[in-house]
Structure 1
Amino acid sequence: MNAATRRAVTATAAVSMALSLAACGQAGGDETGDKGSSTKIGLLLPENKTARYEALDRPQFEEAVKGACLTCEVVYNNAVSDVVKQKQQFDQLVADGVRVIALGPVDATKAAGWVKEAQGKGVKVVAYDRMIEGADAYVSHDNNKVGELQGEALLAALGGKAASANVVMINGDEKDPNAGLFKQGAHTALDGKVGKIAYEASGEWDPKIAGEKMSAAISSVGKNKIGAVYSANDGMAGGIVTSLENAGIKGIPVGGQDAEIAGIQRIIAGTQTFTIYKSPLQLAPKAAAFAVDLLMDVPLRAKSETNGVPSNLLDPVVVDKKNIQSTVIEEGIYTAAEICTPELADECAKLGLK
């Protein structure tokens, strides 16, 4: 991560949250002598199979909170895709007196009940990247648009072959409300413009399961009859590409999402066609801003509402070979040295990555 970029983002977040910072300086404890619970912010993320959560979202959130509130402390846990574990983590934060929790739910439907119960105890919840009914605030990207961009990028990659192409769709985990929005958006872009969706299944955000579903699709559709593959994210695209390679299938468009470094490397190598970049340099600081504002009980700077919840929805960006430099490198997510392994050096040089 580019240190200058991180400092600039943190500085911006600190300026934008001046009211919170001023209030925060007066909030080192409460009148009962509890020295710290009043300035603790919980961050609960849903899983670690998707690399971005640990590598990007967590550090960006923690840094933005620190930049906005000198006395605030982030209490972090990852549910590793286990809804029971996440419920225990959530309950523990409430029991420990944490007043604001940023929650990326494993199961958004179940989480709605937790949120309602916690709110009855004075706890406020920011829905982090996945909508939770009844939350106090919500930050994500425009997830229907993410799916539309994925579908449009797949169509562009197919070109004149689109109208007759058999497309395989490996969607995300059905417990994640975003997965349904990605799927809906992708169908909006693809339906009626490709030959047909020849196979569709959930890969459950798991590269291994996605690879298994891809193998099933190859058996069902036929090795030489698959025109393109929609993968809801980069992690699953890795398993899909492995299955394609094992079957001897090369040169067909494969999409993804999250701009994971492995996905960027596959784009450079030519085994993945595109990804969707959802900048944590925007997402995590916006969520941190909501969390600090809720902690300090100041007005939220929301740009919209989603199902009645104050929201900030950010714009996603398609990344392919042409704009790796101007997106993930120039924004400081990765350096060219991190991306360009010795095996990719020649291709990186052709793309002018530096």
Structure 2
Amino acid sequence: MRKRILVAASVSAALLTAVTACGSSSSTTTTDAAGAKKPKVGVILPDSKSSVRWETADRPYLAAAFKAAGVDYDIQNAEGDKQAFQTIADQMITSGVNVLITVNLDSGTGKAVLDKAKAQGVATIDYDRLTLGGSAQHYVSFDNTEVGKLQGQGLAKCLSDTGARTPVVAELNGSPTDNNATLFANGYNSVLDPKYASGEYAKGPNQPVPDWDNAQAGTIFEQMFTSRPDIAGVLAANDGLANAAIAVLRKNHRNGQVPITGQDATVQGLQNILAGDQCMTVYKAVKKEADAAAALAIDLAHGKKAQTTTTVHDPVGNRDVPATLLTPVAIFKNNVPDVVNDGFVTKTDLCTGSYAALCTAAGIK
């Protein structure tokens, strides 16, 4: 009987370990050659549903940078769960991280985590998304207003190519709780609003997508298209939302006829561009963003003063946050090869099945 109990306990412990490890990656060394405790960096990613980049790009790039620097790290994904986000943060702080990098799910949850870390003497970095009213010491991202401008300019270029007169433009915006979505909208509306005001474009349905949820985006866009079947252009805030809109247009035999923007240069988004169903995307060289954040974190973990290139203003916290902002690039069919040549996506992943011939035609080697 005692033997059975011990075996059951061992199995339960193994299962618990497996569950705890799910969705996380970390190094195992905790001391250096002299036996001293090594610096440790914690990273909390937001989800894997809104964009594949968090798992396919950010995680491996960050892990590689920390490994190269010999810094212990723990990378976990909250999978869109605000409670899990806070629990992961508590575990990381308790485990002794020196630096915490977070991509918030919303500013309220993000602020609570940042404030707790600050109270425990843990250095903090906002990654990709600024936490409004938060206390992060640094912010690393792309120029997100510029991302939006590139989307607005891209849609204008594609609409011009169609020759449409007074096209009805629908806007499928990002999550209302994500400050980046606000910055994207500021950027593309700086391009579109003057065209609405002059009568060059007609303003169509305009709606945010909660939590960047692609399934909800499909439902929202279907409602938009039902109410305005004359939609002639779609400003979709990222590739996932764009693909949801494309699915609706395909069902109505309108795909390829309505220019749609995107963002993130995902494999799916690039395939849609090659197929003519999506007009453009915005490429953000995530490796550069991850490397910049990792470099800051490594300096902070070693007690060094971290260097940034500019500041961004947090209107809620009324403070200027030291920041590193990287430059985004507009991608159309003619320069899709640039994304492959940069190593962000591979030809193997992109040029599968029916896309192989399209890749060849686009000059992807």
1:352 is matched with 363
Bigger radius of gyration: 2
Gaps of 5+ in 2: 1-29, 314-319
1:40 is matched with 40
Alpha-carbon contact 2:239-2:264 (below 8 Å) kept: yes
Alpha-carbon contact 1:138-1:309 (below 8 Å) kept: yes
In structure 1, give the amino acid aligned to 2:231: I
Q: Residue 254 of structure 1 is aligned with which of 250, 260, 280? A: 260
Q: Deviations over 1:154-176 (max 9, x none)?
A: 00000174661111111111111
Q: Deviations over 1:220-244 (max 9, x none)?
A: 11x2x11101111111111111011
Alpha-carbon contact 1:207-1:240 (below 8 Å) kept: no
2:218 is matched with 211
Q: CA separation in 1, counterparts of 2:76 and 2:138?
A: 20
Q: CA separation in 2, counterparts of 1:96 and 1:283?
A: 26
Alpha-carbon contact 2:86-2:109 (below 8 Å) kept: no
Q: CA separation in 1, counterparts of 2:221 and 2:350?
A: 26
* CA RMSD across the alignment: 1.7
Shift, 1:329, TM fit: 1.0
Deviates more, 1:167-176 or 1:300-309: 300-309
Alpha-carbon contact 2:100-2:117 (below 8 Å) kept: no
In structure 1, give the amino acid aligned to 2:342: E
- Cα distance change on mapping 1:101 and 1:162 into 2, 3 Å: farther
Q: 3-state SS of the aligned residue for 2:79?
A: coil
1:319 is matched with 331
Shift, 1:248, TM fit: 2.0
Q: Residue 300 of structure 1 is aligned with which of 289, 292, 306? A: 306
In structure 1, give the amino acid aligned to 2:73: V
Deviates more, 1:104-113 or 1:119-128: 104-113
1:58 is matched with 59
Q: 3-state SS of the aligned residue for 2:324?
A: strand
Q: Does 1:342 align with 2:343?
A: no
Q: Residue 283 of structure 1 is aligned with which of 282, 289, 294? A: 289
Q: Deviations over 1:86-122 (max 9, x none)?
A: 0111111111111211100111233123212221110
Q: CA separation in 1, counterparts of 2:45 and 2:114?
A: 15
Shift, 1:317, TM fit: 0.4
Runs of 4+, deviation exceeding 3 Å: 160-163
Alpha-carbon contact 1:263-1:272 (below 8 Å) kept: yes
Q: Does 1:191 align with 2:193?
A: yes
Q: 3-state SS of the aligned residue for 2:342?
A: coil
Q: How does the TM-score come out when normalised to structure 1? A: 0.86
Q: 3-state SS of the aligned residue for 2:261?
A: coil
1:77 is matched with 76
Q: 3-state SS of the aligned residue for 1:42?
A: strand
Alignment of 1:9-20 (within 5 A): none
Q: CA separation in 2, counterparts of 1:162 and 1:184?
A: 24
Q: CA separation in 1, counterparts of 2:165 and 2:74?
A: 51
In structure 1, give the amino acid aligned to 2:112: G
Q: CA separation in 2, counterparts of 1:88 and 1:159?
A: 49
1:97 is matched with 96
Q: CA separation in 2, counterparts of 1:206 and 1:84?
A: 18
Q: 3-state SS of the aligned residue for 1:271?
A: coil
Q: 3-state SS of the aligned residue for 1:77?
A: strand
Q: Residue 243 of structure 1 is aligned with which of 242, 245, 248? A: 248
Q: 3-state SS of the aligned residue for 2:195?
A: coil
Q: Does 1:273 align with 2:279?
A: yes
The structure, 1 or 2, with the larger RCO (C-alpha pairs under 8 Å, 6+ apart) is: 1
In structure 2, give the amino acid aligned to 1:42: G
1:153 is matched with 154
Deviates more, 1:190-199 or 1:159-168: 159-168
Q: Deviations over 1:271-297 (max 9, x none)?
A: 111110011120000000111111112
Q: CA separation in 1, counterparts of 2:149 and 2:221?
A: 22
Q: CA separation in 2, counterparts of 1:118 and 1:124?
A: 7
Q: Does 1:329 align with 2:340?
A: yes
Aligned sequence identity (%): 33
Q: CA separation in 1, counterparts of 2:251 and 2:349?
A: 27
Q: 3-state SS of the aligned residue for 2:176?
A: coil
2:7 is matched with none
Q: Deviations over 1:256-277 (max 9, x none)?
A: 0001111111111111111100
Q: 3-state SS of the aligned residue for 1:227?
A: strand
Q: 3-state SS of the aligned residue for 2:194?
A: coil
- Cα distance change on mapping 1:306 and 1:28 into 2, 3 Å: farther
Alpha-carbon contact 1:108-1:130 (below 8 Å) kept: no
Q: CA separation in 2, counterparts of 1:134 and 1:89?
A: 18
Q: CA separation in 2, counterparts of 1:290 and 1:159?
A: 43
The size of the alignment, in residue pairs, is 319
Gaps of 5+ in 1: 1-26
1:18 is matched with none
- Cα distance change on mapping 1:87 and 1:108 into 2, 3 Å: same
Q: CA separation in 1, counterparts of 2:155 and 2:282?
A: 12
